[in-house]
A = this chain, B = another copy of it.
Amino acid sequence: MKNYFIARSRRVRSTPYTSRIENQGVTAYSVYNHMLLPAAFGSLEDSYNHLKEHVQVWDVAGERQVEISGKDSAKLVQLMTCRDLSKSKVGRCYYCPIIDDKAGLINDPVILKLGEDRWWVSIADSDVILFAKGLAIGNNFDVKIFEPNVYILAVQGPKSFKLMENIFGKKITEMKFFGFDYFEFSGAKHLIARSGWSKQGGYEIYVEDTKSGLALYDHLFELGKEFNVKPGCPNLIERIESGLLSYGNDIDNNDNPLECGLDKYVNLDNDIDFLGKEKLQEIRKLGIIKKLRGVKIETKEIDISKSIKLFDEKNNEIGELRSGAYSPHFEKVIGIAMIFKPYWSISQPFKIQINGETFSGKICDLPFI
């Protein structure tokens, strides 16, 4: 695929780290929540190998926060997600599908419970703030909704634990997965969660104090030398192997959470009130007719800029490939596809056209690794 430049403007917002990553060799950007998201530092495969062995620092400021606070905040947050948050605890992160009244996915954020009446919805790429505002206004909820100045730095990779321990002490290594706490650095308190968009382990630092955050950024690279730290970004190969879904890529508003394998975040047998509940109960009763599955394709190269249809041997359309990358681990292309019911069983063979050539593939389970 030919390469094109990204046009810069204020509308596609920079982050506090943009000038640093540009000095460090970022080569490509995507746009995420109207903000620059680094997409490559040279070779995707080199970055993948490095991420699985060492530690990387990522500018993921594009993961914007929607802060919802006030008397009715818990009610509003629960209204937006099919995951039961009635027993949620302050200091914990919750992966939550956000759906509309037709059960179509609107986003799949991690929600942080900062207090009984204060939440951060750490969003994927759609303006959840507008949905929250519309619902709050329409329902006359007593809430305050805004986008705070939070710019996340992710520290990911197996050596992230040692690096973060060297800066913040032993306490940070004792934090459980999807827990968060506050840690001091250079005169500011930073909310740090044990989370991140890779399966290689690590943390996300919710930087509110930009000055201290930039000092921390530099300190991570200074102290990280002994762990072979590098700048990075969410890695397409690693996240597909790990089965981490990407809103807009693998899932969108035409899909419901049951079709996306998010069953464990769908709580229907209770008396909590959320949008799309009746619709989801109906869908569960009737059964879904398409489902996200893994695929393996007998080729070594793919570039996906839109869905690619998949066909069985009799040329029946069996679904569409939505994300894909060459996996050095499997030595072939792997991907995430939405597959129609009769075809979603494991090992179902299919054909796919990539740049005019036909390749064969097979359906498999998610995650790959």
Contacts and interface: CB of A to CB of B under 8 A. Distances in A.
A2 interface: yes
B10 A249 contact: yes
A30 B323 CA distance: 21
Q: How many copies does the complex hold?
A: 2
A13 interface: yes
Contact of A131 (B26, B27, B133): B133
B22 A125 contact: no
B130 A7 contact: no
A305 B26 contact: no
B138 A130 contact: no
Q: Chain A interface residue count: which class?
A: 35 or more
Given A8-B305, A9-B30, 12 more contacts: A5-B6, A7-B28, A8-B304, A10-B307, A11-B30, A11-B246, A12-B31, A101-B133, A127-B131, A130-B130, A137-B275, A138-B139
Interface string A121-156: 000011110111111111110000000000000000
B7 A39 contact: yes
A139 B136 CA distance: 10
Interface in A197-252: 246-249
Nearest to A30: B7
A3 interface: yes
A13 to B, nearest CB: 7
A40 interface: yes
Interface in A248-289: 248-249, 275
Contact of A26 (B4, B125, B303): B4
A100 interface: yes
Contacts of A27: 4-5
Given A100-B137, A128-B130, A306-B14, A6 B28 contact: yes
B125 A126 contact: no
Nearest to A137: B101
A134 B125 contact: no
Contacts of A249: 9-11
A118 interface: no
A101 B27 CA distance: 41
A143 to B, nearest CB: 11
A140 B139 CA distance: 9
Contacts of A7: 28-30, 39-40
A5 B28 CA distance: 4
Contacts of A133: 100-101, 131, 134
B136 A323 contact: no
A34 interface: yes
